[in-house]
Amino acid sequence: MFDTGSTAFMLICTMLIFLMTPGLAFFYGGLARRKNVANTMLMTFVVIGVVGVLWILAGWSFAYGGDGSISFFGGFDQLLCLPVVQQVLEQAVNPPVDATYPAIVNIAFQMAFAMITSAIITGSVAGRMKFRAIVLFLGIWVLVVYAPLAHMVWGGEGSLIGEQIGALDFAGGDVVHISSGLTGLVLCIALGGRRGFGVMSYRPHNVPFVALGAGLLWFGWFGFNAGSQFAADGVAALALLNTVTASASGLVSWLIVERLATGRPTLVGASTGLVAGLVAITPSAGFVEPWAALIIGAAVPPVCYFAISHLKARFGYDDALDAFGCHGIGGIVGGILTGLFCVPELSWTSFGGLLYTGDPTLLVAQVLGIVVTVAIVLVLDLAIVFAVKALCGGSLRVEESEEALGLDISEHGESAYPAFTGLD
């Protein structure tokens, strides 16, 4: 019989993760310019529909179908989730001996992961990408990049990164943050910079929106990390504690860096530091001790801050809302630090962190896993960019006049803050 406690726990964690995507819409919407806020939020909201449909059609099957014999792809046996009802009926009569909750929960749980991962990408392209182009890109991306990558890391026996390379990723350093951050970088380079990039200053139009979005992300992240233990047990509690610890440390660290760099701590900085700490702890949430979570959370803001404040100007890419600077860079830092601080007894493999064992095997595996993830995502992203560009009239970008007017009006015919002369 299923454990009702773990079943309830997984259902709640799933709902928490679903909350993250609307939360990200507020976070990105607040960071966007006033004339683009509705478009920016809609790019995030549309993910709920696109990924929700495609996950049932094929995403779940591509990520977690098959018998595990293919290292980089699930299979076609779960298309449309056709076997699900039969499995529910069978498990109601003869529940699996080693299962703590119904397997159907995993479909929704992993769908929520796919949604928030796809939504992160949109931050890099804010203010200049055709809406139909981003919708088409994300629809292809979740099936061609995200689902196979999830299988490579979390597909169990035979999986390329998780099993053969032996890299650890508790809740999505490779699968979620590096993949989405790198994809955002590829797209923003393909699009080119916004009007006035490098000349004018872009400032958040609604700072309270940013804080609200960060708060919703923080709340949802507890389900994101703790739920990745797939049981209501001590490791789930450790993952939750480490999530709080690293996010708190990240917030404080970012404010210190910001104070030293600019002389003023800001609410946007505090919100960004909170998210950066969450990103960094994701790969190791259930593998490290709380003191290590403090270090991980404190270590990532200086690196992300440098990437956001210096690398963009140095290399000239316009990562509009810093999806790569926060998620891509933060995911890489967190993945590497997992190889240092992983408690051997908590590891999914035979190897623990370098600090505990003196053996660099896990650290090497973490770095190799990141390199393989970057290579796979980069190649597939470029292929999708060329395909979508061809399908969208040879350009991913709106016309210059439309960008100047603002994408809220030019793409959607609505304004987030309409000026009424009478009753509305």
**Number of folded domains in the chain?**
1
Residue 230 is part of a domain; what is its CATH number? 1.10.3430.10
Task: Burial-class residue 125 by CB neighbours within 10 Å (0-12, 13-18, 19+).
Answer: buried
With respect to residue 257, please indicate whether it lies within any of the assigned structural domains.
yes
What is the reported pTM?
A: 0.96
pLDDT tens digit string along 113-161?
Answer: 999 999 999 999 999 999 999 999 999 999 999 999 999 999 988 899 9
**Residue 424 forms part of a structural domain:** no
In a domain, 420, yes or no: no
Domain residue limits at 153:
4-412
What would the pLDDT profile of 216-274 be if each residue is shown by its tens digit? 999 999 999 999 999 999 999 999 999 999 999 999 999 999 999 999 999 999 999 99
Mean pLDDT (the chain) is: 95
- Rounded to a whole number, what is the distance in angstroms from the first to the last CA of the chain? 56
Is 406 a domain residue? yes
Do 33 and 202 touch, CB atoms closer than 8 A? Answer: yes
Determine the pLDDT at residue 422. 46
Residue whose entry in the numeric block shows the structure tokens 């923080």: 218
Give tens-digit pLDDT for 32-46.
999 999 999 999 999
Q: What is the pLDDT of residue 192?
A: 94
pLDDT score at 388: 98
Query: Residue 9 domain-assigned?
Result: yes
Q: How far is CA 210 from CA 116, 274, 321, in A?
A: 17, 11, 11
Considering the domain boundaries, does residue 421 fall inside one? Answer: no
Q: Which residues pair with 397 in a beta bridge?
A: 129
Indicate if the pLDDT at residue 196 is higher than 50: yes
